[in-house]
Amino acid sequence: MRKTFKIAAAGTLMLALASGAALADAGVWTRADKETGRRGAQQGIAVDLPGREEKRLAAASVDPATGRASKRAGTAAAEGTTGTFTARLTADGLNDTLTFRYARSGGRTVVLPSPDLGYELHPLPDGDALVEYAASIYRLDPEKRALSVFLKAQTGNYRKTDRGPVSGGSPKMIVWGQRASLSPDGAKLLYWTTRGMTASGSEDGENWVKDLRTGTEKKVYGAGYTVLGWDAKNRFYLDLGDGGIVQVDSGSGASAKLVSGYSVAAVSESHLLYQTSAGSLNVRDLSTGKSRTFRGGGLNILRSASASRAGEWFAVVNAPDRSSGVSTLMLIHAKTLKSRTIKEPAGSSIIGAAWQDGETLLVQSRNRTTAAESTYAVDMKEEMGE
């Protein structure tokens, strides 16, 4: 088994697979160790995430004159020391100093995601990270503590220094690159840009891909939309809202609509799960194109869905009764559609479920009375006896 950090110690959380079966009692949670607060993972290390109270205090500390908060709501290493360093960005007319939180792990510097510091962070396989800042994307070398240009300053007839059509008496700023998403093999980067606005006048933007081996950048799909994820064939999936879900080949740009109408969805390297109507959901095998329908286990309305990267499991937060605010956690096997339905911990609400990796599911909960937050870790291979 691949080594991963353990948020929960050796608990005895027994989750035998049973198709559509419901848990008889809530003892499943009391038999499992848990950690206080919200937890996540970044490049193999555990991180503490800001909770609701930290976010509230940070919002309350914002100076209305400057727009700056005196209290931060950022991440920290769950074990060991969290430090900070600064890096200068002197490109594209900028002369800014950015602050980064980091932890040391395995002899390397792991930069922690810190959107409260004014940027979004995307780790690269080589240990560097991409930083979304000032409407573009830059590369960070955490060992040298240096920022550098990542996207080309000109692609075809588009130039970073151009401005969009005039609105309200001034030209609109071009978004050169945002919403970065890395392909599973680490060879391609998908990003959203409005560089085409100079010619089209449209602010919807376009989806572009940068080949990290050759440096080539090109448009592969129009408009913005939410990126659901990638499959093993380097195709990415966009949530078009009421327009459904589209599959796009990152190399050729060929696209195909797989789902019509609004849906809640999640995608892995091998399967796509989506719900378009209450009481059922569909799981599509992305290699064969075949879809199957899942019902049972008290399934009603999906609040959220997430997939393990390899696609063996989906974790679904389900609302059996939309009006009550109560949820269940459903674990669904992508290939067999066998499932396990788990009620919320006593007195608590499930507020999130995300995969640390293909083997470990992190379940975040909040006590309904005290608002205290906790994180449970479910090791799928150990708990399912695989």
pLDDT score for 32? 60
pLDDT score for 2? 34
Q: Residue 283 pLDDT > 70, yes or no? A: yes
Mean local confidence (pLDDT), 79-105: 94
Residue 29 lies in a domain: yes
Most confident of 24-33, 133-142, 157-166, 305-314: 133-142
Instruction: Look up the pTM and report it.
Output: 0.86
Please state which of the ranges 95-109, 155-169, 296-310, 361-375 shows the lowest mean pLDDT. Answer: 155-169
Mean local confidence (pLDDT), 334-340: 91
246 pLDDT band (50/70/90 cuts)?
very high
Total domains in the chain come to 1
Contact 1, 356 (CB under 8 A): no
Instruction: Report the alpha-carbon distance of residue 230 to residue 192 in Å, rounded.
Output: 15
Mean local confidence (pLDDT), 231-255: 94
Residue 35 lies in a domain: yes
pLDDT score for 146? 97
Joined tokens for residue 316: 């679904």
Residue 270 lies in a domain: no
- On average, the pLDDT of the chain sits at 86
Mean local confidence (pLDDT), 74-91: 93
Joined tokens for residue 346: 């006593």
pLDDT score for 7? 33
Gyration radius of the chain's alpha carbons: 22
Q: Residue 135 pLDDT > 90, yes or no? A: yes
Please state which of the ranges 65-79, 180-194, 257-271 shows the lowest mean pLDDT. Answer: 65-79
Residue 363 lies in a domain: yes
Contact 173, 135 (CB under 8 A): yes
Contact 9, 377 (CB under 8 A): no
Mean local confidence (pLDDT), 220-236: 93
Q: Residue 323 pLDDT > 90, yes or no? A: no
Q: Nearest-CA neighbor of 305 among 328, 338, 335?
A: 328
Instruction: Report the alpha-carbon distance of residue 240 to residue 366 in Å, rounded.
Output: 31
Q: Nearest-CA neighbor of 370 among 352, 353, 384, 349?
A: 349
87 pLDDT band (50/70/90 cuts)?
very high
Its domain, for residue 54, covers: 24-58+303-318+326-386
Number of neighbours of residue 339 by Cβ within 10 angstroms:
21
Q: Which residues contact 366 (CB under 8 A, 6 or more apart)?
A: 52, 348, 349, 351, 372, 373, 374
pLDDT score for 8? 33
Residue 187 lies in a domain: no
Q: What percent of the chain has pLDDT over 90?
A: 56
pLDDT score for 260? 92
Q: List phi, psi (to 5°) of 111.
A: -80, 135
Q: Residue 280 pLDDT > 60, yes or no? A: yes
Greater confidence, 46 or 5?
A: 46
Instruction: Report the alpha-carbon distance of residue 184 to residue 268 in Å, rounded.
Output: 10
Instruction: Report the alpha-carbon distance of residue 250 to residue 157 in Å, rounded.
Output: 21
